Amino acid sequence: MLLLGLTGSIATGKSTVSALLSRPPYSLPIVDADLIARQVVEPGTAGYHAIVRHFQPTTPDLLLPESTPKGPPLNRPALGRRVFGGGDERERDRKVLNGIVHPAVRREMYKQMVWAYLKGHWAVVLDVPLLFESGWERYCGTIMVVGVTDPKIQMRRLMDRDSHLTEEDARNRVSSQGDVREKAERCLRRGPGRGVVVWNDGGKEELEREVARVMEQVRRGSPRWWGVLLWVVPPLAAAAAAVSWWKMKRVQREWEEEKKKAK
């Protein structure tokens, strides 16, 4: 089974591409890290209690006024203002939040990937906004980046979507997820079929054509017969996964070394 990593940056259209891949003619299972991240911090969960313990003393509006049987939900805009943006304090708080959420998200993602394999899917989409930053890159046989050529497009789409954001808030959120054009370059370094980029500067119809174009490349690199063979012979699937992991880890290391030298 192919692990197809889907990433991008905020307001580039990644969620729209994820929805397209979940429907015919692709009909792929989606492991949505954002959705899982919301689920693991719902009231009553261990993640929720850890966030409240750490952030509530310094964030009075951390919790919403309305309540559920298990407690009031998190005020996500307030938490976002606490962790997004520059400065040492925000960076420390962002690391604390990631340390709470990421391990719980990984456990649930592993469960969903195993279930997709057992059901015989030829590929599963790992929808992870910070795929490169979180280390998931090496586990993916193919990575698809959804990008835009101009950061102003991100800013406009984000503020249209989330009307409560100021221009500064939008700028902080865009910058916190890194330059999507650099992610696209990093993706393409993986080689043909291993890294593909969907450019989403236009409308929905243009995006659908872009998705069809790149999925044709992905399909050529992972034909159906190969997926069936890996499903029928689990030891072969394990061996193929190990080889892919080693190759992609090498690509990741080479990229990181180049960036260090550039600095």
- Rounded to whole angstroms, the Cα distance separating 256 from 242 reads 21
Within this chain, do residues 130 and 113 fall inside the same structural domain, yes or no?
no
Number of separate domains in the chain: 2
Q: Evaluate the CA torsion angle 36, 37, 40, 44 in order and state its sign.
A: negative
* Residue 137 in domain: yes
Within this chain, do residues 25 and 91 fall inside the same structural domain, yes or no?
no
Determine the pLDDT at residue 228: 84
Phi, psi of 188 (to 5 degrees): -65, -25
* Residue 35 in domain: no
Tokens of 258: 């180049």
Determine the pLDDT at residue 110: 92
Within this chain, do residues 227 and 112 fall inside the same structural domain, yes or no?
no
- Rounded to whole angstroms, the Cα distance separating 97 from 224 reads 40
* Residue 34 in domain: no
- Conformational region of residue 44, where left means phi above 0, alpha means psi within -120 to 50, and beta covers everything else: left
* Residue 196 in domain: yes
Within this chain, do residues 135 and 222 fall inside the same structural domain, yes or no?
yes
- Whole-model pTM above 0.85? no
- Rounded to whole angstroms, the Cα distance separating 187 from 185 reads 5
Within this chain, do residues 179 and 217 fall inside the same structural domain, yes or no?
yes
Could you tell me the pLDDT band of residue 125, with boundaries at 50, 70 and 90?
very high
Among 69, 97, 118, the domain-final residue is 118
* Residue 36 in domain: no
Tokens of 142: 């193919």
Determine the pLDDT at residue 62: 92
Q: Are 147 and 197 in contact (CB under 8 A)?
A: yes
Domain extent for 87: 41-118
Phi, psi of 159 (to 5 degrees): -70, -30
Among 118, 138, 161, the domain-final residue is 118
Res 26 pLDDT > 90: yes
Could you tell me the pLDDT band of residue 192, with boundaries at 50, 70 and 90?
confident
Q: What letter would DSSP give residue 145?
A: E
* Residue 154 in domain: yes
Q: What CATH code is carried by the domain that includes residue 1?
A: 3.40.50.300
Res 84 pLDDT > 90: no
- Rounded to whole angstroms, the Cα distance separating 193 from 223 reads 11
- Rounded to whole angstroms, the Cα distance separating 187 from 255 reads 10
> 69: cis peptide before it, omega within 30°?
no
Among 95, 118, 141, the domain-final residue is 118
Could you tell me the pLDDT band of residue 133, with boundaries at 50, 70 and 90?
confident
Within this chain, do residues 160 and 218 fall inside the same structural domain, yes or no?
yes
Could you tell me the pLDDT band of residue 152, with boundaries at 50, 70 and 90?
confident
Determine the pLDDT at residue 221: 86
Within this chain, do residues 3 and 51 fall inside the same structural domain, yes or no?
no
Res 17 pLDDT > 80: yes
215-223 LR contacts (CB < 8 Å, sep 24+): 215/21, 215/26, 217/192, 217/193, 218/2, 218/4, 218/123, 218/142, 218/144, 218/193, 220/193, 221/142, 221/192, 221/193, 221/194, 222/2, 222/122, 222/123, 222/141, 222/142, 222/193
Within this chain, do residues 100 and 171 fall inside the same structural domain, yes or no?
no
Residue 257: Cβ within 10 Å count:
10
Tokens of 48: 């929720």
Within this chain, do residues 15 and 143 fall inside the same structural domain, yes or no?
yes
Within this chain, do residues 161 and 256 fall inside the same structural domain, yes or no?
yes
Phi, psi of 109 (to 5 degrees): -65, -45
* Residue 228 in domain: yes
- Is residue 192 classed as helix, strand or coil in its secondary structure? coil
* pLDDT tens, residue by residue, 162-185: 888 888 888 888 877 778 899 999
Determine the pLDDT at residue 19: 96
Within this chain, do residues 148 and 59 fall inside the same structural domain, yes or no?
no
* Residue 95 in domain: yes
Within this chain, do residues 73 and 160 fall inside the same structural domain, yes or no?
no
